[in-house]
Amino acid sequence: MKTERRNQLPKARRDQLIIKELPDEVLVYDLERDKAHCLNQTAALVWKNCDGKKTVAQLHEVMEKNAGGPLPEDMIWLALDQLETFQLLDEAPEKPFQLTGISRRSLVKRIGFAALAVPAIISIAAPSAQAQASGAPPGACCTTNANCASGKCANGGSCTPPPTKICMP
C-alpha cells in the first residue's frame, strides 16, 4: 500500500488571522489560538508567496530574486518549518529526505553566511478576552460592576451589587 505524500505546493493559512504589514516585518494575530506572531522579512516573504501554486523551488527563485543573489534552499525549508510549527500553513510540503529529522539549529549552521537573513518568527500567547476583562488594573479601585466584569477585583476581592470600593495595592 502506497502512503500518500503531502502536497508539495505550500499554502499559507489566511482564515482566522489578522495581518498587519509593517516595513520590516509582518504581524499575524491568530484568532483561533489567541497567539501573535511577528515574521521577519525573510519569513514574511516566504509566507506571502505560499499560494498553493508555487513549488519550494519556485519559492527559492523568488527569494533569490528578492535578495539579488544566490541563497541556500535550506533557508526556504527553515522558513516553511517555522511556518508549519506556528500553524501558519494550510498545506505544508514534505521535507526532502536529507532534511528529515534535522534540527533548526543544524539547519541554521548549514545556511552559514546567509544566517543574517535567516527566517525568524517570534510568537507570544495573547491573553484571552476573559482574562482582559477580569478586573481593574493594580492601583485602581473597583467602584462599579463594570470595573469588576468577572465579579472579582484583581486583588481577589469580590464585587457584589451595590458595588464596593476595593482598592488595589
Q: For 37-89, how does the pLDDT look when each residue is reduced to its tens digit (9 = 90+)?
A: 999 898 999 999 999 999 999 999 999 999 898 888 888 888 898 899 899 99
Nearest to 35 by CA among 141, 127, 117: 127
Distance CA 121, CA 114 (A): 17
Is the model's pTM score more than 0.75? no
pLDDT per residue as tens digits for the range 114-124? 544 567 778 88
For residue 153, what pLDDT is reported?
A: 54
Average pLDDT over every residue of 130-138: 49
For residue 166, what pLDDT is reported?
A: 41
